[in-house]
A and B are shown apart, each in its own frame.
Chain A
Amino acid sequence: MGDYIVLAISCILINNILLAQYLGNCPFLGTSKKMETAVGMAMAVVFVLVLAGVITWIVNTFILQRFGLEYLRTLSFILVIAALVQFVEMFLKKSIPALYAGLGIFLPLITTNCAVMGVCLINVNEEYTFLQALVTSFSYAVGFGLALILFAGVRERILLARVPKPLQDTSIALVTAGILSLTFFAFKGMV
């Protein structure tokens, strides 16, 4: 049990997918202008990442490794994740319309997200067990959400600040992301 908690903490804080691994930067900048959007996006990522982590682990273990086709990982993962997201979208629309109303618009945006892809590949490279893969996927997603929401909060404040012209908008956002990332480096060596 202890191991899983350590694993979760390391995924959320130490190896934060956004701020330590620099994956998923497009939605990080794109959906962080408003707190509301950021929260929606964070929820959607948790949802999709857990599903994608599980299903790619299954595909990798039972199909690719069995036939010795590890080199097809990237290709097949893209295919599987895309189909999965589409499937989930249809499922939600029919069965849980309330959840669809909340997450629906963000789902297609995640289809080809590198954070999702990255987590799936990390799971496989680290040769995690199924349960470990489940925990890491969930934790990375939570880490993504945490960073995104923190960042959205900061950006809402930046709107009110006196920013020099050449640094306005995306430039200052990247500088902020850098500083935010530095603070996360403080967790290094904790585990």
Chain B
Amino acid sequence: MTMVVGVKLPTVLRPFAGGVERVEVQPAEDTVGAVFMALEADHPALRRRLTDEQGSLRRHVNVFLVNDNIRDLDGLDTKLSDGDELLILPSVAGG
């Protein structure tokens, strides 16, 4: 079954996704980590800003599934369903 997940981007990241507010990806597996891997194909510059080169979510990037930060769920292993929406938000950091 093909699964589609939406990823909503903050303004600052939209230039790395062709200027759009939201992208859709078809992850190979039903996890948040697979969504990021799927981003690599179409939006590698965007993926690189969300995770480091080893695939770890950057420390000050927050990813929400509805109202839950995925760090409070299972992180990159958090399970997704077809039609889920992820919201990317920068944390309060940066000095």
A binds B: no
**Residues in chain B within 8 A of chain A (CB atoms):** none
**Residues in chain A within 8 A of chain B (CB atoms):** none
